[in-house]
Amino acid sequence: MQQAGRNAQLLFFAALAVGASYYANRWIGFEGVPAIVWKGGGVGLLALWAATLARRRDGWTIAAVLAFGAAGDVLLEAAGLTVGALAFLAGHLIAILLYLRHRERPLGIVALVAIAVAGTAWLLPDARAEAPGVALYALGLGAMAGAAGISRFPVIVPLGAALFVLSDLLIFARMGPLGGSELPGLLIWPTYFGGQALIAWGVVTRLRREGA
């Protein structure tokens, strides 16, 4: 049992190493399959780590959320923004169900956060034809963050969800007011991967502690 715990811990550190190191590809410039595998590897290993520690439905649920996130990372590069966003949206919807099973604050907060995030996202693209699709995705993103905020999971989980929201809003801002800025490129990956790591750690460790 102790050996299994150590192996799981090593897997988590490997996920952090792979995910954090991908930030360097902004300057290294790897392309093609190696870059795609590198990009998906961080959250993919977080999903594998969560799966190795899963014992009940909630444990498998957070593993699925992270797996859809890794799929989104890969599909953004391999199939484009729309297909990648659909994978992320599927993960958000599953995460909402998980967080609502552990709700301890008013449900109306979820709607408020979802509307705020969707409204902000709708304003960002210069190409107004893209705004409805962006807002629809952001509605699910905001609902995920709001549901994390009303759950009984530790504060790092809603913090991670907020970083995820910030990362995606930076992507949408790059389609509009920050199109000529270096800021999105500098912040999108660290806010995204940092958010995913915080969500994973907060949910998995709480579930593991309660199952012990």
H helix or E strand, kind and range, residue 22: none
The reported pLDDT for the residue numbered 188 is 98
| Residues near 170 by beta carbon (within 8 Å), at least 6 away in sequence | 178, 183, 184, 187, 188, 191
Return d(Cα 182, Cα 155) in angstroms, integer: 30
Could you tell me which of 88, 53, 82, 83 has the C-alpha nearest to residue 67?
88
pTM of structure:
0.95
Q: What per-residue confidence (pLDDT) applies to 147?
A: 98
Distance, CA of 50 to CA of 12 (rounded, Å): 9
Looking at residue 171, its pLDDT comes to 97
* The pLDDT value given to residue 3: 60
pLDDT value of residue 191: 98
- Residue 6: its pLDDT value, please? 74
83 within 8 A of 63, measured Cβ to Cβ: no
Question: By the 8 A CB rule, do 104 and 155 touch?
Answer: no
Annotate 45-97 with DSSP letters as a single string. HHHHHHHHH--SHHHHHHHHHHHHHHHHHHHHHHT-HHHHHHHHHHHHHHHHH
- Kindly state the tokens that stand for 6: 């150590």
pLDDT value for 7: 80
Token digits of residue 23: 């930030």
Q: What is the pLDDT of residues 76-110, one digit of tens each?
A: 999 999 999 999 999 999 999 999 999 999 999 99
The pLDDT assigned to 1 comes to 52
Identify the pLDDT of residue 5. Answer: 67
Residues of the chain falling short of pLDDT 50: none
H or E element at residue 136 = helix 131-149
